[in-house]
């Protein structure tokens, strides 16, 4: 029992020691409490859960203020996507990277305006621009992931005919399954992101609190699962 607890504690600490892992945990806490707050019948307790959720969201937004340089480093290393399986995936990857790079300064302006650190700036306007970038990035990433699943599926059939190495085929299946989970997670994120846009676009502003909490919590749990699943790839 003690050895199991120590292994579990070790895994949790490893998750929290990385920026990505910590962000996933904060995101899960943020939207789990949002879900509970949206469903709880006691208004006083519901408000406390929603306040906690708001603070977790604010913490994540503050941490993202430092993401520009890591994103720039990743984009420079990615370049024009020469390592991608085909040109379509490379084009989608490059376009997504440009959008993500621009997203961070846009979010900074919205953050500064929200906290009254700059004047004469409409915070709602910059929030909307930020949401547009977010939606665009998720959509393009989803298209890229779907394309990758299609490529992996074709390679699987080729491997089943031409390759007798079961280990290679097993790795291919693991990678395909991982990308399928990625697609599911991105679909959930896309539904969530579209909801943050102003009214009038698809289902924007139509989801209530608990629905947003459920969608984002499910996405967050899948994200944590993928951190561990990626070790086997």
Please indicate, yes or no, if residue 82 is contained in any of the structural domains.
Answer: yes
Please indicate, yes or no, if residue 113 is contained in any of the structural domains.
Answer: yes
Q: What is the pLDDT of residue 231?
A: 85
Please indicate, yes or no, if residue 46 is contained in any of the structural domains.
Answer: no
Please indicate, yes or no, if residue 211 is contained in any of the structural domains.
Answer: yes
- For residues 77 and 136, the answer to whether their CB atoms sit within 8 Å is no
Please indicate, yes or no, if residue 37 is contained in any of the structural domains.
Answer: no
Q: What is the pLDDT of residue 165?
A: 54
Please indicate, yes or no, if residue 152 is contained in any of the structural domains.
Answer: yes
- For residues 86 and 151, the answer to whether their CB atoms sit within 8 Å is yes
CB-neighbour burial class of residue 182 (10 A; exposed 0-12, middle 13-18, buried 19+): buried
Whether the per-residue pLDDT at 167 is higher than 60: the answer is no
Whether the per-residue pLDDT at 163 is higher than 70: the answer is no
91-109: b (≥16 Cβ within 10 Å) or e? ebbbbbbebbbebbebbbb
Total domains in the fold of the chain: 1
Whether the per-residue pLDDT at 101 is higher than 60: the answer is yes
Q: Select the more confidently predicted residue: 157 or 192.
A: 192
Structure-block tokens of residue 218: 């499910």
Q: What is the pLDDT of residue 156?
A: 67
- pLDDT tens sequence across 195-226: 999 998 999 999 999 999 999 999 999 999 99
- pLDDT tens sequence across 58-68: 999 999 999 99
Please indicate, yes or no, if residue 213 is contained in any of the structural domains.
Answer: yes
Please indicate, yes or no, if residue 98 is contained in any of the structural domains.
Answer: yes
Domain span holding position 96: 66-232
Residue 158 binned pLDDT confidence (cut-offs 50, 70, 90): low
Q: Which residues lie closer than 8 Å to 6 by C-beta, 6 or more apart?
A: none
């Amino acid at each position: 029992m003690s050895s199991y607890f120590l292994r579990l504690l070790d895994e949790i600490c490893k998750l929290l020691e990385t920026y990505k892992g910590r962000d996933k945990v904060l995101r899960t806490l943020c939207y789990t409490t949002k879900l509970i707050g949206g469903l709880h019948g006691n208004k006083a307790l519901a408000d406390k859960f929603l306040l906690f959720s708001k603070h977790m969201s604010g913490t994540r937004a503050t941490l993202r203020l430092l993401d520009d340089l890591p994103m720039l480093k990743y984009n420079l290393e990615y370049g024009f996507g020469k390592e991608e399986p085909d040109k379509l995936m490379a084009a989608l990857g490059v376009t997504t990277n440009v959008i993500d790079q621009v997203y961070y300064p846009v979010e900074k302006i919205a953050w500064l305006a929200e906290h009254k650190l700059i004047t004469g700036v409409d915070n709602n306007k910059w929030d909307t621009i930020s949401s547009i970038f977010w939606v665009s990035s998720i959509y393009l990433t989803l298209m890229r992931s779907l394309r990758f699943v299609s490529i992996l599926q074709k390679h699987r059939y080729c491997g089943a005919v031409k390759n007798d190495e079961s280990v290679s085929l097993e790795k291919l299946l693991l990678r395909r399954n991982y990308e399928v989970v990625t697609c599911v997670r991105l679909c959930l994120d896309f539904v969530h992101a579209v909801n943050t846009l102003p009214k009038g676009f698809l289902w924007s502003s139509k989801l209530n609190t608990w629905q947003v909490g459920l969608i984002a919590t499910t996405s967050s749990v899948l994200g944590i699962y993928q951190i561990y699943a990626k070790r086997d790839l």
